[in-house]
């Protein structure tokens, strides 16, 4: 009887870890929408905490991306330097998003919550 209980606990822990991992990968591919759906629908504390961290990061990425877009195309640039700097900033943002989402997914797979660097607590 103990092995049945232990087996179901392990499956629940594995399920919890998988959903906590998937939320970061959803953020990588679907941004704020994928993570937001998981955050709203999740009941498990581990998944909800990971979704909150991922959602805070995706909101931050969206806001920074919008600012970079305004700098590049919304303002009348004095020179092409603004466009070049905004393009480099966007490239850096995409790179950080990819790396941070993958790091967070690996941490979640190991059963750890990971707060994204530079990210304010919005949610």
17-52: pLDDT as tens digits: 788 999 999 999 999 999 999 999 999 999 999 999
pTM score, two decimals?
0.83
In a domain, 114, yes or no: no
The range of the structural domain enclosing residue 101 comes to 2-109
DSSP secondary structure code for residue 71 in this structure: I
Classify 12 as helix, strand or coil: helix
In a domain, 18, yes or no: yes
| Number of compact structural domains in the chain | 1
In a domain, 55, yes or no: yes
In a domain, 49, yes or no: yes
In a domain, 44, yes or no: yes
Mean pLDDT of the chain: 86
pLDDT-based confidence at residue 2 (cuts at 50, 70, 90):
very low
Return all residues near 50 (Cβ < 8 A) that are at least 6 apart: 20, 21, 23, 24, 104, 108, 113
């Amino acid at each position: 009887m103990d092995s049945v209980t232990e087996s179901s606990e392990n499956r629940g822990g594995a399920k919890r870890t998988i959903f906590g991992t998937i939320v970061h990968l959803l953020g990588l591919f679907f941004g704020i929408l994928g993570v937001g759906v998981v955050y709203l629908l999740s009941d498990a504390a581990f998944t909800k905490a990971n979704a909150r961290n991922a959602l805070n990061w995706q909101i931050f990425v969206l806001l920074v991306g919008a600012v970079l877009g305004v700098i590049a195309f919304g303002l009348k640039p004095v020179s092409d330097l603004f466009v070049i700097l905004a393009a480099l900033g966007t490239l850096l943002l995409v790179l950080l998003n990819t790396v941070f989402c993958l790091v967070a997914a690996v941490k979640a797979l190991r059963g750890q919550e990971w707060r994204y660097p530079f990210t304010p607590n919005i949610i």
